């Protein structure tokens, strides 16, 4: 065989073959990209276009000209926002309520998880897990009706009880001092099951031989919880909390909008960035956009920061 004479043509035909192969392989990817297309197009419309729309914060919005056609006014919207005397109040509310929710949800969630895993009866354990998650599936509008059932001035159950004992009825929707407590309670009532189930999963993942060994060496059940259960929960607790702190500029809009039932008097203790943005949207789009921009940008930095921290604690629980 004469290798030399055929080498050139084979390599040429080989590369042509490889090219055709690559082409046909690329062709075979077309259906795969088509499958991705609906989700990609949707995300572009629903998520990425609004990201671009954040330029609104630096514009004088004009409905006729649209988001991208409106004229720039640079930092005028931010000036307006910073001059708003309520800004420190709703910023404080957003951050403080979120910190309170995180702390209370953590403590109550861990406590309930420890209680539920202490229960040996299978039925009762299943029932408990179903019950604590139940409020999670109710819409916040309906929750606000339930809260009203307790707090309504004329018909509320609390006032009925107070009156039955000869007290003076309380106008709950007019009294600021009760609301931090009420909102923390409602938030915990509705949301604690979610975290608690994560903690239960973590507790059930602990190697049972650890408890057996501890029991043999004479550790009481309380000691076992203190020295085995709790340390094993720490990674989950820390990551759940860190991820929540990453969302500290985002309040639970429904909770703050629905549950206080739009009572203006309560707004110093119930107004958050989200409810402010929503209400300002009707009167001053620019200022509302500026607040919204601050929320998105600040939220982005916080999530990066706290996810980074969460990742150090436990990789699998971090977002990315």
Partner 1 sequence: MIRSKQQRRLELFAYAVMIIVAVMILYPFLLLFMSSLTDEVTLSLNGYSVIPKKFSLKAYVYIWDARDTIFRAYAVTICVTIVGTLLNVLISALAAYPLSLQRLPGKSVLSFIFLFTMLFNGGMVSTYMTYTTIFHIKNTYLALLVPGLLFSPVNCIIIRTYFRTSVPEELYDAAKIDGASEWKTFFHVALPMSVPIFVTIGIFAGLAYWNDWFNGMLYVTDRTKFSIQQVLNIMVSNIQYLSQFAGTGRFVYGDVPSVSVRMAIAFVAFLPILCLYPFLQKYFRSGIALGAVKG
Structure tokens given for 88: 């420190």
Residue 110 interacting with partner 1 (CB under 8 A): no
Subset of residues 241 to 260 that bind partner 1, contact rule: CB under 8 A: 253-254, 258
- Determine the interface stretch with partner 1 among 6-14, 53-61, 176-184, 227-235 (rule: CB under 8 A): 53-61
Structure tokens given for 183: 């909102």
Please, what is the minimum distance in Å from the beta carbon of residue 309 to partner 1? Answer: 15
Residue 217 interacting with partner 1 (CB under 8 A): no
User: Toward partner 1, which CB reaches closer, 178 or 278?
Assistant: 278
Please, what is the minimum distance in Å from the beta carbon of residue 54 to partner 1? Answer: 5
CA–chain centroid gap for 302, Å, is 13
Please, what is the minimum distance in Å from the beta carbon of residue 159 to partner 1? Answer: 6
Structure tokens given for 289: 């956009």
Residue 128 interacting with partner 1 (CB under 8 A): yes
Report how far apart, in Å, the C-alpha atoms of 192 and of each of 102, 200, 254 are: 10, 12, 16
Please, what is the minimum distance in Å from the beta carbon of residue 12 to partner 1? Answer: 26
Subset of residues 149 to 168 that bind partner 1, contact rule: CB under 8 A: 149-150, 152, 154-157, 159-160
Residue 261, phi-psi category: left (phi > 0), alpha (psi -120 to 50), beta (remainder): left
293 CB contacts (<8 Å, ≥6 apart)?
54, 56, 57
The DSSP secondary-structure symbol of 259 reads T
User: How many amino acids of this chain bind partner 1 (CB under 8 A)?
Assistant: 98
Site string (166-195) toward partner 1, x via CB under 8 A: -----------------------x----x-
Among 106, 110, 112, 245, indicate the residue that binds partner 1 (CB under 8 A): 112
Residue 146 interacting with partner 1 (CB under 8 A): yes
Identify which of 196, 185, 174, 74 has the alpha carbon closest to the alpha carbon of residue 128.
196
Structure tokens given for 19: 């090219």
- Determine the interface stretch with partner 1 among 10-18, 44-52, 89-97, 172-180 (rule: CB under 8 A): 44-52
Q: At what angle do helices 140-151 and 179-204 cross, to 10 degrees?
A: 130
- How many angstroms separate the CA atoms of 92 and 156, rounded? 30
- How many angstroms separate the CA atoms of 115 and 68, rounded? 55
Residue 288 interacting with partner 1 (CB under 8 A): yes
List beta partners, residue 71: 60
Please, what is the minimum distance in Å from the beta carbon of residue 85 to partner 1? Answer: 21
Burial class (CB in 10 A: 0-12, 13-18, 19+), 264: exposed
Subset of residues 16 to 35 that bind partner 1, contact rule: CB under 8 A: 28-29, 31-33, 35
Identify which of 52, 68, 33, 81 has the alpha carbon closest to the alpha carbon of residue 296.
52
Subset of residues 70 to 99 that bind partner 1, contact rule: CB under 8 A: none
User: Toward partner 1, which CB reaches closer, 269 or 287?
Assistant: 287
User: Toward partner 1, which CB reaches closer, 140 or 269?
Assistant: 140
User: Toward partner 1, which CB reaches closer, 96 or 281?
Assistant: 281
């Amino acid at each position: 065989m004469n290798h030399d004479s055929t080498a050139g043509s084979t390599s040429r035909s080989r590369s042509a073959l490889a090219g055709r192969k690559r082409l046909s392989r690329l062709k075979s990817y077309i259906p795969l990209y088509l499958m991705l297309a609906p989700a990609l197009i949707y995300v572009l419309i629903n998520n990425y276009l609004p990201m671009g729309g954040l330029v609104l914060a630096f514009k004088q919005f004009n409905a006729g000209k649209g988001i991208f056609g409106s004229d720039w006014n640079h930092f005028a919207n931010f000036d307006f926002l910073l001059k708003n005397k309520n800004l420190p109040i709703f910023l404080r509310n957003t951050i403080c309520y979120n910190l309170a929710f995180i702390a209370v949800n953590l403590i109550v969630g861990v406590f309930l998880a420890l209680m539920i895993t202490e229960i040996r009866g299978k039925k009762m354990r299943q029932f408990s897990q179903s019950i604590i998650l139940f409020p999670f599936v109710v819409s916040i509008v309906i929750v606000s009706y339930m809260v009203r059932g307790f707090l309504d001035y004329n018909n509320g159950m609390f006032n009925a009880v107070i009156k039955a004992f000869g007290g003076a009825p309380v106008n709950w929707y007019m009294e600021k001092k009760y609301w931090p407590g009420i909102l923390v309670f409602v938030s915990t009532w509705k949301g604690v099951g979610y975290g608690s189930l994560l903690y239960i999963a973590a507790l059930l993942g602990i190697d049972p031989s650890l408890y057996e060994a501890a029991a043999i060496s004479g550790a009481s059940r309380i000691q076992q919880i203190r020295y085995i259960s709790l340390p094993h929960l720490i990674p989950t607790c820390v990551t759940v909390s860190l991820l929540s702190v990453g969302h500290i500029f985002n309040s639970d809009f429904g909770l703050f909008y629905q549950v206080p039932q739009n009572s203006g008097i309560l707004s110093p203790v119930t107004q958050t960035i989200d409810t402010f943005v929503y209400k300002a949207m009707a009167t001053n789009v620019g200022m509302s956009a500026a607040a919204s921009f601050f929320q998105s940008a600040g939220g982005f930095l916080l999530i990066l920061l706290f996810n980074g921290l969460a990742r150090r604690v436990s990789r699998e629980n971090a977002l990315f």
